[in-house]
Amino acid sequence: MSDAIISGRRSRQLGGTVLLAPATLVVLIMLAAPLALLVRYSFNRFSPTDLMIAAVTPENYVRFFTDPFYLEVMRTTIGVALLSTVLCLILGLPIGWRLSRMRPPWRGIFIFAMIMPLFVSSTVRALGWMILFARGGVLDLGSSYFFQRHFEMQFSSTGVVIGIVSANLPYMVLMAQSVFAGIDDRLSEAARGLGAAPVRAFWRVIWPLAIPGIAIATIMCLILGMNAYATPILLGGPRFQMMAPLVYWEFGTNNNWPFASALAFVLMATTLLLAVVAHTLVPRRYRA
Amino acid sequence: MEDIGKRSRGRGLPSRRTVLAGSAALAMPAIWTSGARAQSSTLVVSTWGGNFGRLLTENVDVPFMKPLGIEVVQDIGGEEARVAKIQAQRMLPQGNIDVACVTGGVAQRLADLGALEPLNAATVPNLAHALPNLLTPTAAPQFYSPQVLIYSSERVKEPPTSFADLLEPAYKNKVGLTDGNFPFNMMAAALYASGNITDVAGAKEAMIRLNKNGLKLYPSVDATAPPFKSGEIDAGIMFLARVISWQDSGIPVKAAFPKEGAALYVSSLVVPKNAPNKQAALKYINAMLEPSAQQGFAAKLGYIPATDNAGLSGTLAQQLALPVPAPKLVVPDYAAMAAGSADLADWWKKTIQRS
């Protein structure tokens, strides 16, 4: 009898694997194949006439790691991504917590309000910030009227960070809200019943339970910040350089596919490394 | 056999007859499409979108190609993507682009690769009217526009007459350029430095000085217009066509021809050697050079016709008329441009953008 049960279970597992296979295959092909191509291209040689010459040379990577210009762009990218992620955490967690403790229908209304910006593409949102930040924009007009001084934040690193935070904050808030909402209120009540002050109950009971979810939200914001494209271009301007626009410059303006591939791969590897580091910073017992 | 057939159907597997019928049904759209294509030919034009693409449709596709039964499909995208496609496909017996809209320098790059079909008045009769200094063996000039000094007509009392004026303290933090136009910005600097449009060393030195004078860079041509309106910048370098279109939009700007000479922006049409519908491509280029098509682009975009029989009149003719005495107009040295484009882009990025 037990053999029959085991056999039936194995058969179901096999069926599940077979059903999953096509989707897995598609994901593998759509993700792994371009990545493999990217790696291969990054070892090719650039030629202005032939685009690429098949080769196996590390020169594109050497160029990146030996040129202070590219290293500086990478440092700027990491700095902006880290700063925007920290700001998302500082701003997003209290909002997420408050939302999770709201009662219907307000909770739904506010969550919908948080989702609303996601209906608009990041490019359009960045254009909105441009109207606000630019010379002659809303803030400049206000500043000129009240303080007789121009206010310009377009084409500045501050503008880029604000733009990225505004784009990533809804993700942080929604994930934090969902994490906090999944934690039973009675745990906090029990802690308080045992004499813990509300703040202590939060840090000792709620926060450890929320850490795995918050860590994932943080890593997601970090990845989005590292790969930001439209915001740095529109709000940073030509003088502010981050990695994703640089990849496009090499690909689109110079048609240098091998170097653009190497840049893309370095960006991806750095992002992955940062995500792993962020994950390891979470104590093992709290990891998801 | 019958049993086997029954068993197959019982297991849900299709019979041979079903498979054949299914295959025929699947092939039907392909058969039908191929018949339809035989009746009306399709032409793929790789071009910029927006107003440019719309004007091509209004001035060429509908009035000239449709009556010939040629359906024009626009492949819209940036110029470098277009170049990459032609470069990547050039070894194939057949590509997928029939006509490509490219700038003069890019046309030269593609010609150097041997990727373009020769064009002449025998195959494109209207090329007989193309301005000879803009015509090349493989590119038909579509229109052109001189690169001029642009300035605010409200705030600048003495119009600039040379690139040298932009280096003066009076223009500190008040000069703005479009970042993407850097090859042409460098040509303006080269003409100022030595009168030689290929003087890269002189251009670099002049551009560094301009940068130190508080040069502002804007990511696109369209992003360069609002700063003139808001007072952020007072002068810059721009194509005359854009100055005219901004004037039409109510932005208070004027154009001045630099005394050292104005580089010409030339937009061209080319046919890749492996174009699938070469005959229709030649007809398309001929249609683009018709006076009505030339007038259409001049009226809406402010570009100067590249033919001698476009016959502009009225306000448009006045707006596009060159000043008297005639300014020095310089056709870029495309071969030099092509040879140094990657190095120049790298230098611009690291030296001008970064500092």
The answer to whether residue A2 scores a pLDDT higher than 70 is no
Average pLDDT rounded to a whole number, residues B215-233: 91
**CATH code of B201's domain:** 3.40.190.10
Same domain, B169 and B128: no
pLDDT score at A288: 58
Same domain, B154 and B244: yes
- Dihedral (C-alpha) A6, A8, A10, A11: value to the nearest 10 degrees? 160
Q: Distance, in angstroms, between B287 CA and closest chain A CA?
A: 30
Question: What domain range includes position B245?
Answer: 145-264+323-353
What residues of chain A lie within 8 A of the CB of B226, using their CB? 134, 136
pLDDT score at B246: 92
Same domain, B187 and B332: yes
Q: What percent of chain A is modeled with pLDDT above 90?
A: 44
The number of beta carbons lying within 10 Å of the beta carbon of residue A30 is 10
B344 vs A: CB within 8 A: no
- A119-133, A249-263, B272-286: least confident range: A119-133
- A55-59, A170-174, B78-82: least confident range: B78-82
Q: Which residues of A touch B (CB under 8 A)?
A: 46, 48-51, 69, 134-136, 140, 152, 233-234, 237-239, 241, 249, 252-257
Q: What is the 3-state secondary structure of chain A?
A: CHHHHHHHHHHHHHHHHHHHHHHHHHHHHHHHHHHHHHHHHHCCEEECCCEEECCCCCHHHHHHHHCHHHHHHHHHHHHHHHHHHHHHHHHHHHHHHHHHCCCCCHHHHHHHHHHHHHHCCHHHHHHHHHHHHCCCCHHHHHHHHHHCCCCCCCCCHHHHHHHHHHHHHHHHHHHHHHHHHCCCHHHHHHHHHCCCCHHHHHHHHHHHHHHHHHHHHHHHHHHHHHCCCHHHHHHHCCCCCCHHHHHHHHHHHCCCHHHHHHHHHHHHHHHHHHHHHHHHHCCHHHCC
> pLDDT per residue over A236-250, tens digit each?
999 999 999 999 999
User: Inter-chain contact A252–B83, Cβ cutoff 8 Å?
Assistant: no
Same domain, B117 and B178: no
Q: What is the mean pLDDT of chain A?
A: 88
The answer to whether residue B32 scores a pLDDT higher than 70 is no
pLDDT score at B29: 42
Distance set, CA A253 to CA A177, B46, B180, B317, B346 (Å)? 42, 17, 9, 35, 10
Average pLDDT rounded to a whole number, residues A111-128: 86
More confident residue, A222 or A104: A222
B313 SS3 class: coil
Q: What is the rounded CA–CA span in Å between residue B217 and residue B204?
A: 16
B31 vs A: CB within 8 A: no
Partner residue facing A51 (CB), from B84, B350, B354: B84
The answer to whether residue B120 scores a pLDDT higher than 90 is yes
Same domain, B211 and B136: no
Q: What is the rounded CA–CA span in Å between residue B40 and residue B5?
A: 45
For A67-286, CATH number? Answer: 1.10.3720.10
Same domain, B163 and B107: no
pLDDT band at A152 (very low <50, low <70, confident <90, very high): confident
Average pLDDT rounded to a whole number, residues B200-221: 95
Q: Distance, in angstroms, between A280 CA and closest chain B CA?
A: 35
Same domain, B177 and B274: no
Same domain, B333 and B260: yes
Q: What is the mean pLDDT of chain B?
A: 87
pLDDT band at A123 (very low <50, low <70, confident <90, very high): confident
Question: Looking at chain B, which residue has its C-alpha nearest residue A236?
Answer: B219
Q: What percent of chain B is modeled with pLDDT above 70?
A: 89
* ipTM, two decimals: 0.79
User: Inter-chain contact A241–B230, Cβ cutoff 8 Å?
Assistant: no
**Most confidently predicted of A18-32, B75-89, B169-183:** B169-183
pLDDT band at A149 (very low <50, low <70, confident <90, very high): confident
User: Inter-chain contact A49–B113, Cβ cutoff 8 Å?
Assistant: yes
The answer to whether residue B124 scores a pLDDT higher than 50 is yes
pLDDT score at A146: 87
Q: Best mutation site among B89, B232, B337, B352 for testing chain A: the one with the most A CBs within 10 Å?
A: B232
pLDDT score at A286: 66
Average pLDDT rounded to a whole number, residues A201-224: 90
Interface of B with A in 138-177 (CB under 8 A): none
What residues of chain B lie within 8 A of the CB of A252, using their CB? 78, 80-81
Number of folded domains that form chain B: 3
pLDDT score at B21: 47
User: Inter-chain contact B231–A136, Cβ cutoff 8 Å?
Assistant: yes
The answer to whether residue A271 scores a pLDDT higher than 50 is yes
Give the contacts of A100 (CB within 8 A, at least 6 positions apart). A107, A176, A177, A178, A179, A180, A181
